[in-house]
Amino acid sequence: MSVSAGRVDDPPLRRTFRHAALTYVALATALAGIACTAGCASSSAAGEDGHSVTRTLRTLLPQGDAGTFSATGVEKNEPLAPVILTYKDAKGVGLVSASVGRLPVPVPEHLSGCPDPSEHPYSRCSLTHLENGATLILDTSPVDEAQPSAGQRWTAVRTDQDGSQIAVSASNTRNNKDAASSRPTPPLDERQLTDIAVSAAWKPVVAALPAPPRDPSPAAAFQSLPAEKVTEVVSRSIPHGLRTADRGGAPGYGHLTVDDGAGKCLVAVTVQRWKPDDPALESLFEGAVRNPDGTRVKSTRSHPEKGGEGAVEWSVDTWRPDGLRIAVIELNAKAYKLPGTRRTPALGVDQLKRIALSEAWRDASADE
């Protein structure tokens, strides 16, 4: 699924999740062991003076055999590419990975913070503000959230005010494809990961990074409403007597949980502005109900792509004549990747429609 908010062939909430899920580009790259993404060089820009991700990581590892690194990156050709090292000792085999990247400045808060709990319910994360203005997050999560009791991955990510970002992770698994534990704990503990991430040894590597590319997607243009405003509007629309909690989100997207006494449901809203005659949305809303004022309304019920067993997602997607698009979803669990905890939603579809069609969205959007 694309992270671009310009695509409409994916459910609106999932697309916004993906856009917001670029919470830390370097971390995502390091954890997945994939090719270098935004802000990483793919040439020998740092090769002449000998600085590279691989070499720097090796110098910072505790004394001992750090193993061999996989085919993820080749130091000779791509010194700034992410690297994965296989670590083996008497306790078993594990992985250590690192990557560097550069984010736009000023760095948006949601690009340097902890994973969104509505998308990563098993994450345990803390954020620290360092004396030099940088931020440091330390996260412990399952390698595979479908198997939370299997392998674990611990990660430290430092983000500086200039947009540079260093991510270092360690997992107690043999490779990135198998979530089964191959040793009791990752080969580096949380203190060691933190020390590596904040080390001054990364300065030459970071200095070789090119400026980050401009985001070609139009996401920023129509996803600027702060999450706090989104959840404020939603909370005012919740019927009296229901409890709300767990607020969060990112620009253009906000979520909270609603509990009527039978269990928490995740309720999330995406706020976007499109051209009134955008052909992509014309196609998406083909056959949708059209209200007297011209607003199109599309309702669905489905099993979410990343839902747990028994998870059900109810959604109401609306597109107004002036281009304002409000999509509301409700999940029968407090977060994605968790099993469904109830058969019926805390808020009915009619209530979701009332939230989506509220005039409060127009007023909130006008203030931005």
Answer whether 108's CB lies under 8 Å from 253's CB.
no
DSSP-derived secondary structure for 34-91: ----TT---SSTTTTTT--HHHHHHHHSPSS----B-TT--TTT-TTS-EEEEEEETT
pLDDT of residue 35: 31
Residue 222's φ and ψ, nearest 5 degrees, are -130, 20
Rg (CA), the chain: 22
Most confident of 112-126, 139-153, 282-296: 282-296
Give pTM, 2 decimals: 0.74
| CATH architecture of residue range(s) 219-366 | 3-Layer(aba) Sandwich (3.40)
Q: Which of 39-43, 87-91, 354-358 has the lowest mean pLDDT?
A: 39-43
Q: Which of 23-37, 39-53, 87-101, 348-362 has the lowest mean pLDDT?
A: 23-37
- pLDDT for 265 beyond 50: yes
pLDDT in tens, 310-329: 999 999 999 999 999 999 99
Pair of tokens at residue 45: 């820009």
Q: What is the mean pLDDT of residues 217-222?
A: 44
- pLDDT for 236 beyond 90: yes
Give the separation between CA 173 and CA 86, rounded to whole angstroms: 10
Give the separation between CA 350 and CA 58, rounded to whole angstroms: 58
Give the separation between CA 327 and CA 77, rounded to whole angstroms: 45
pLDDT in tens, 166-189: 999 999 998 877 888 889 999 999
Q: Which residues pair with 317 in a beta bridge?
A: 298, 327
- pLDDT for 55 beyond 70: yes
pLDDT of residue 223: 57
Q: Which of 19-28, 131-140, 353-362 has the lowest mean pLDDT?
A: 19-28
168-334-178 Cα angle (round to 5): 40
pLDDT of residue 305: 86
17-109-229 Cα angle (round to 5): 70
- pLDDT for 115 beyond 60: yes
Instruction: Report CA torsion sign: 184, 185, 188, 190.
Output: negative
pLDDT of residue 149: 87
Answer whether 111's CB lies under 8 Å from 39's CB.
no
pLDDT of residue 82: 86
Contacts with 223 (C-beta within 8 Å, 6 or more apart), sequence order: 5, 16, 19, 251, 252, 253, 270, 271, 272
Q: What percent of the chain has pLDDT over 90?
A: 54
DSSP-derived secondary structure for 224-252: -S-HHHHHHHHHHTSPTT-EEEEEEEETT
User: Domain ranges in the chain?
Assistant: 12-207, 219-366
- pLDDT for 34 beyond 60: no
- Which residue's entry shows tokens 């090769």? 47
